[in-house]
Amino acid sequence: MLLAQSFGCARFVWNNTLTYRTEAYQQHGESISPSAVEKRLVALKAEYPWLADVSSVILQQTLRDQKAAFDNFFNPKLRARYPRFKRKDGRQSIRLTKAAFRYRDGEITIAKTKTPLPIRWSRPLPSEPSTITISRDRAGRYFISCLCDFTPDVLPVTPKMTGIDLGLTDLFITSEGIKSGNPRHLKRYEAKLAYLQRRLAKKQKGSNNRNKLRQKVARRHAKIADCRRDAIHKATRTLVNENQVLCVESLNITGMIKNRSLAKAISDAGWGEFLRQLVYKAEWAGRQLVKVSQWLPSSKMCHGCGHKVEKLPLSRRHWHCASCGQALDRDINAARNIRTAGLAGLACGATGAGAAA
């Protein structure tokens, strides 16, 4: 009950403050400072006494999160969207600092309650958490994320180096010729998901039956997302464990998704999550991740002699080099070119996860 009330109070403060800031700019051209917003919180709590039923830290952290959202929006490098209103049936989250929770004997108790949260831990905490985030997804599942200090274990040095090409027929292809395949998680559950969505569209808005069916649709989406995330975690962990240097292509995934013919397949492949996991896992394990320019013609260029063909449609998966006569697999050839370009970048002095050739 307290968690649901905390989610509601945090959502109200976010939406009310966002409305206030938006109207102030649209009507008077005024930008509200973070300090003015925090002072306004006192007036909000006086006007709506039920806001005092939850920890004030939750409301303060909500305002700080909104400040971070506006900072990202005004940062030209991030190209973030304008902060949006939070929905009651969307994902909910609250963040608490040390002043609003207690960690003792492996149990966490938040402010305004005396009962520890019934947590099923996925792993032991490496240290006492400094911040916790409690969230609830659209399927009604609760999660707690703890911010802790820890020292990652650096893996032993290995001489193996690989290039990785991302694809749709196979999620990733290495320069050694390993093809991962593509489980296509969305396609596996797509028929059942479409059936549930058709039923949902026919339910009366606001009815209990519609809410029950919405939960079923959300659970199906959660199942798909969990399967995709699990497969990517296993693949990235294997690649990081086995290779000292990993060379990947820096793709413009946002631009590629604008292709309506491939948008669903690219989103289902999870390229962005794949690259994100490679970056932090390589850093933790003491590996080097090299990002190669997306403009490298990795598929069109022969890895043996460097000859480049003018056109190579996606339907053509194998081709012969006109210069050296070598038979080439499109994806393996691209991975080998990415590996060559990545190692060349390292040789020129570029190092670390942010290196680019």
Is pLDDT at 71 greater than 90 in this prediction?
yes
**Contacts of 118 by beta carbon, 8 Å cutoff, 6+ apart:** none
Ordered DSSP codes for 237-270: HHHHHH-SEEEEE---HHHHTT-TTTHHHHHHHT
User: What pTM did the predictor assign?
Assistant: 0.86
Is pLDDT at 186 greater than 80 in this prediction?
yes
Domain chopping of the chain, boundaries: 1-147, 161-348
Instruction: State the maximum Cα–Cα separation within the chain, in Å, rounded to a whole number.
Output: 80
**Contacts of 246 by beta carbon, 8 Å cutoff, 6+ apart:** 161, 162, 164, 239, 240, 278, 282, 287, 288, 289, 290
pLDDT band of 350, cuts 50, 70, 90: low
Is pLDDT at 65 greater than 90 in this prediction?
yes
Three-state DSSP class for residue 164? strand
Rounded Cα gap, residues 287 and 265, in angstroms? 30
Residue of 135, 162, 159, 132 whose CA lies nearest to 147: 132
Active site residues: 165, 249, 331
pLDDT in tens, 33-44: 999 999 999 999
Token pair, residue 118, equals 């019934």
Mean pLDDT over 200-208 rounds to 94
Rounded Cα gap, residues 80 and 72, in angstroms? 6
CB 353 within 8 A of CB 289: yes
What pLDDT was estimated at residue 78? Answer: 84
